[in-house]
Amino acid sequence: MKRSALPKRTAPLRRGTPLRRTPFPNRGPARRAQIAPAAGKKLVRLRPGLGGLCEVRSPWCQGRGTQFSHRWHQGQGGPWTASNGVRACGLGNAAGCHGWIHQRPVEAEKLGLIVRPGPGGKADTTLIPVKIHTVQYGYAWVFLDDKGGVVPDTTPRVP
């Protein structure tokens, strides 16, 4: 069997229509106007009574809180606010409590460490309690506010 020769190109290929750039939903001026990542990280790092320790305290805990872990994931449109972040130990999504959250999403969601966006793709993380460790309340259910504060959740829970 003979192979047929490829046709010779005489001119470079041209696109008939220009490429349209589709904007990402979680980027752009509307997203950047909310809060800068550095400001959100600082509010979580300076949360009262934390002292640089990990707030999650999972079975994989390494002790020192070094990561800002989004409750409502950044890729789903989650902002860099203090109510949307917890201080977790580990390196990336592979080790420590930050890795535990990403590798066990069902358990993390039950503890409020992961928040799924509701109808319309929005989630208000100030209204969703999270079970974290603080010096003031110990390992307890709390509400986080956008100023870096912590308020205990007094709702009775079934163990």
Model pTM score: 0.74
Q: What is the pLDDT of residue 1?
A: 60
3-class DSSP string for the chain: CCCCCCCCCCCCCCCCCCCCCCCCCCCCHHHHCCCCHHHHHHHHHCCCCCCCECCCCCCCCCCECCEEEECCCHHHCCCCCHHHEEEECCCCCCCHHHHHHHHCHHHHHHCCCCCCCCHHHCCCCCCCCEEEEECCCEEEEEEECCCCCEEECCCCCCC
**Residue 82 confidence (pLDDT):** 92
With a cut of 50, which residues of the chain have pLDDT below it?
28-33
